[in-house]
Amino acid sequence: MKHIIILGDGMADHAVDRLGGKTLLQAADTPWMDRLAREGRCGRLMTIPEGFHPGSEVANTAILGYDLNKVYEGRGPLEAASIGYDLAPEDLAMRCNLITLGNGKILTHNGGNLSTKNGDVLINYLNSKLGTDQIRFITGIQYRHLLVIKRASKHVVCAPPHDHPNEEWQSLLVKSEKGWEDVHEPIMGSDGKPTGETRMSGQETADLLNDLIMKSQELLASHPFNREKERKGERPANSIWPWGGGYRPNMQTLMQLYSQVRTGSVISAVDLIRGIGHYAGLDIIKVPGATGMADTNYEGKAEAALKALKKQDFVYLHLEASDEAGHDGDLELKLRTIEYLDKRIVKPIYNEVKTWDETVYIAVLPDHPTPVEVRTHVSEPVPFLFWHRGIEPDAVQQYNEVACVSGSYGLLRLNEFMDSFMKINVS
């Protein structure tokens, strides 16, 4: 048997007045997801554990069956793994966005839809000016980059920039976690034993990060790339914004967790998802033209997923575009990304695997809602569907947030999704 999870990041939404009170999944033209829901079985899933921020790193890790209380180390270490950066025991890895500030506020979390090529220029420039033996800026994808600081503490409070559009940035600067202001945590080696060295305190780390933010603004403001952007009336990438810090995580592979998974791959344009896949023991497949935006290579990703599924047991196929449209508050674009996923991902995969001799189990779901009128992630249940040839369908006729309430799986939580997906059998 083979399993594929098709994940539309941030695809779920709220009812929108402009759509006659429908959600985007209800309003979008999605005949293929509706068909799988009609032929399969549905439910809802709570992807965010109590006490955790509703980030994609949390939700996708939970969907894959992991206990976040045991493995969570933040976003930075996952993105480090995805780009092949081997964290040392003393390293703190942080996601480092290039963002746009204006009029004292965060205007956009993505630096004006920065390309990877231009992001690389700016990150290398910052590393040449601010990098030291202790501090290193490393290129990722588009606006999503990596900041690694030796002996820094993860016990700081950082505001994910996509959660704070149009808010004053100075009030969101890094702070120490309460109780960690003066604590110098021991550094643990790869063997789990103290190395004899200690980390900076939470307050010292916060002060260093805020100093880097301020210095980056001075440097980026004068960079020729940003001067040209401003001349054209476009949004410049004029500040770094570090967040999601942590140390190297200790995760079992999916093969250790689930006997049904002997081999597998992850397909995504997003470093974070690739990093989760790396620690989960999955091969990372990079598809030419995969951007993480609405212009991504949908056909190439579907083809890569089918090719991998012919050789392996498990594929995690991640599409980022709906989440980006949600953060931008772009209703029309988010509708299009949902329809693209339906017709350019779900349709070809369904039509191909239903002809195979070996049974293929398909799951479709978002990781969390990113409502266009909120423009940030929210911790609410998401709809999911399971399909395989021969499954006994439930009463759900369409795939959306409302219809799936009546699904036979009811409301699942966290690792119950992956456990259920691995255990369904042909009738």
The pLDDT-based confidence of 427 (bands split at 50, 70, 90) is very low
pLDDT value, residue 272: 86
pLDDT value, residue 251: 87
pLDDT value, residue 425: 65
What is the mean predicted confidence (pLDDT) over 190-207?
93
Look at residue 427 and tell me if it is in a domain.
no
What is the mean predicted confidence (pLDDT) over 389-401?
97
Look at residue 176 and tell me if it is in a domain.
yes
Which of 247, 281, 304 terminates a domain? The answer is 247
> Is 267 found in the same domain as 171?
no
Which of 205, 230, 247 terminates a domain? The answer is 247
The tens digit of pLDDT for each residue in 79-113 reads: 898 788 889 999 999 999 999 999 999 999 999 98
> Is 81 found in the same domain as 67?
no
What is the mean predicted confidence (pLDDT) over 141-160?
95
Look at residue 40 and tell me if it is in a domain.
yes
> Is 63 found in the same domain as 19?
yes
Closest to 421 measured CA to CA, from 261, 268, 253: 261
Look at residue 159 and tell me if it is in a domain.
yes
Instruction: Report pTM.
Output: 0.80
> Is 343 found in the same domain as 236?
no
> Is 390 found in the same domain as 310?
yes
What is the mean predicted confidence (pLDDT) over 276-299?
95
Number of domains comprising the chain: 2
pLDDT value, residue 426: 45
Query: What do you get for the CA distance between the two ends of the chain, in Å?
Result: 14
pLDDT value, residue 386: 98
> Is 227 found in the same domain as 85?
yes
The tens digit of pLDDT for each residue in 296-342 reads: 999 999 999 999 999 999 999 999 999 999 999 999 999 999 999 99
> Is 304 found in the same domain as 155?
no
> Is 223 found in the same domain as 262?
no
The tens digit of pLDDT for each residue in 354-374 reads: 999 999 999 999 999 999 999
Look at residue 381 and tell me if it is in a domain.
yes
> Is 177 found in the same domain as 111?
yes
> Is 386 found in the same domain as 374?
yes
pLDDT value, residue 75: 83
Which of 203, 227, 247 terminates a domain? The answer is 247
> Is 307 found in the same domain as 264?
yes
The tens digit of pLDDT for each residue in 48-80 reads: 999 998 999 999 999 999 999 999 888 899 889
- Domain assignment of residue 154, given as a range: 77-247
What is the mean predicted confidence (pLDDT) over 3-17?
98
pLDDT value, residue 424: 79
- Read off the CATH number of the domain in which 288 is found: 3.40.720.10
